[in-house]
Structure 1
Amino acid sequence: MPARRASPVSTEPPLPYALARAALGAAVMGVGLGASVAVGIAAAELWGLDGFLARLVPALLVTALVVPTILFLRRRVDGRPLRGIGLVGPLAAVRTAVLGCGVVLAAALVVLGGATAAGWVTWRAVEAGDLLLFLGTNALIALLYEAVPEEISLRGYVLTTLRSRYARWVAILATTALFVAAASASVVVGAGLTRLLGVEPFPWGVVPPGEDPVSYAMLLVVFGLMLAYAREASRTGSVWTCVGAHLAFLTVNRVVLSAGGTGVEVDLASPDVLLLVPLYVGVAIVALAFLGERTPRPSPREVPRSA
């Protein structure tokens, strides 16, 4: 009698387990960000830090807490390769980061250029030295504080985990929802921990102080969708495309919307001009989605666990 052929054993985790892993990855980001901000405030008060150094401490803490934890979850808990979450080699990382940054800058240039021509945005004095200093310090803080840890955890670990078991559109929407949840969790954790540490407390809430909850959530949703599409814009699925797009978004917004300290003076015709931000993000989404459709995607299924 012929032996029965063994049926293939699936290496994929159950659907609920994949969702739980993704939620854990988002929680790492939310808790890590909130804790780093609170500890950074305590360190600034203890050591008398202000300005750039006061911002650098929590930025270093976020990356130091979040990135190693995500790498541990991916390699040791899940037993999966780091390349699967978009951590490609150095040359591909630089190339795809430039791609993400370039797409967002081009979208902002088109929208803000049109707004400038229409008289909605007026560019006044530009101090080249101050602008270069701002761009350098802003890039360092933005990368360490937000772009690198958020993209490795959310568009890297979370999106990859969800794509292994769910349809593409479900994974993108769920990752975006977890992005919003992580941002809210960071505010709650920061508010609680500042009180435990006995430093100037954050107000309780689910959005940063001074932000309108609805507007803030809507911007995060649009921003999160842009970053999810950025992950698929390159052949390698590099997470560094998301990092570049994230950095460009933060830089443009801070130059245009900051009250000072950027080396550029910008006047907005009315508060409604702020709607240009989601508009240029929408243009970037279309461009990134177009690139993604033209780029062959690797299979979303995970490779078998490493021994």
Structure 2
Amino acid sequence: MKWILYVLAGWSTLVTSLFLASLSSNHLIQGLVMSGLVMPIILYLYQKFYRMTGVKPKTPVYSWKRLPHFISGVILAIALATLGFIIGDFQGWIDFEKWHPSEQWFIALTMNILFAFFYEALPEEFGLRGLLYDVLRYRFAAWLSVIFQTLLFVACTIAVAQIQALVGLAPGVSINLFYIILIFCFGICLQLLRLWTGSLWTSIGFHLAYLEIMRFAVSPHLKGLPPIITYHESVPIISHIISVCMMIIGGIIVSLVILGAKRFIRKSK
């Protein structure tokens, strides 16, 4: 039953680190606290887990040798989002007005990339799509491990919001049914990306690209960020719906197709 202890240790590390990071309003401090706490603990738990199972991969999913897959995740997110905008423009749902010069948004985008990488994409992927999935996979079938990991992802977000409310802080996110469904599907997508590439860096790249596309191209007004592009919507928030569906649902479909093709090839051999 040691695997349960590893799940609890990894999950509680993420929840505690997210809460402590949220105590500061400074993005730099938030990123340092989150990655500074999560990364060494998760890597330590990984080594303990490998000793428990007696099996350590020659090239772990988080190995630097798999870093090129980071670009694969970024490119896939950008390609799916671009396809969504093209479809929206073709259908008349989105009317593009202006591309803004890079000097208006480049610095803000660069700073936000650094913040999102160390505060969200890197530690969350190492903890959830990395350690927690691998521990669950040691005990369950792959499809059950994907679902259980994603439920832990949702529970982590809800737990942090509840702790923030208990101590009198404003929750970082608004927990509602739509948001729960969104992050559940997002968690499934990220886990499947890691599975077909065999690299945690794919989900890290996709996660990071998704955040920046949503913040600077789709809904920059929500966070007061400079937009990369401005456009008119025929239906309110249609661009948000299209982008989310194309990146998340599209990522799930692409991953399932590739996983299915790989399984078929293995069987045929």
Give the TM-score, by structure 1 length.
0.75
2:139 match: secondary structure: coil
Give the TM-score, by structure 2 length.
0.85
Equivalent residue, structure 1, for 2:179: 216
Equivalent residue, structure 2, for 1:258: 220
The aligned runs of 1:287-298 (5 Å cut-off) are 287-295=254-262
The superposition leaves residues 254-303 of structure 1 with CA deviations (integer Å, 9 ceiling, x where unpaired) of 1211214234234333335132244111011111222333447xxxxxxx
CA contact (8 A) 2:7 2:135 kept: yes
Aligned residues: 253
The superposition leaves residues 158-187 of structure 1 with CA deviations (integer Å, 9 ceiling, x where unpaired) of 111111121111000001000001111222
The aligned runs of 1:1-307 (5 Å cut-off) are 14=1, 17-38=2-23, 40-41=24-25, 54-76=26-48, 79=51, 81=56, 86-90=61-65, 92-93=66-67, 95-125=68-98, 126-192=100-166, 195=168, 201-203=169-171, 208-209=172-173, 211=174, 213-234=176-197, 237-255=198-216, 256-259=218-221, 260-264=224-228, 265-273=230-238, 274-280=240-246, 281-295=248-262
CA contact (8 A) 1:74 1:82 kept: no
CA contact (8 A) 2:11 2:156 kept: yes
RMSD (Å), alpha carbons: 2.2
The superposition leaves residues 84-113 of structure 1 with CA deviations (integer Å, 9 ceiling, x where unpaired) of 7611224x21x1111111112211111121
1:119 match: secondary structure: coil
User: Cα–Cα, structure 1 residues 97 and 139, in superposed 2: closer, same or farther, change >3 Å?
Assistant: same
User: Cα–Cα, structure 1 residues 68 and 114, in superposed 2: closer, same or farther, change >3 Å?
Assistant: same
Which has the larger share of helix? 2
The unaligned stretches of length 5 or more in structure 2 are 264-269
User: Residues of 2 paired with 1:83 and 1:242: CA distance?
Assistant: 20
> Residue type matched to 1:115 in 2?
G
User: Residues of 2 paired with 1:21 and 1:83: CA distance?
Assistant: 21
User: Cα–Cα, structure 1 residues 268 and 212, in superposed 2: closer, same or farther, change >3 Å?
Assistant: farther
The unaligned stretches of length 5 or more in structure 1 are 1-13, 42-53, 196-200, 297-307
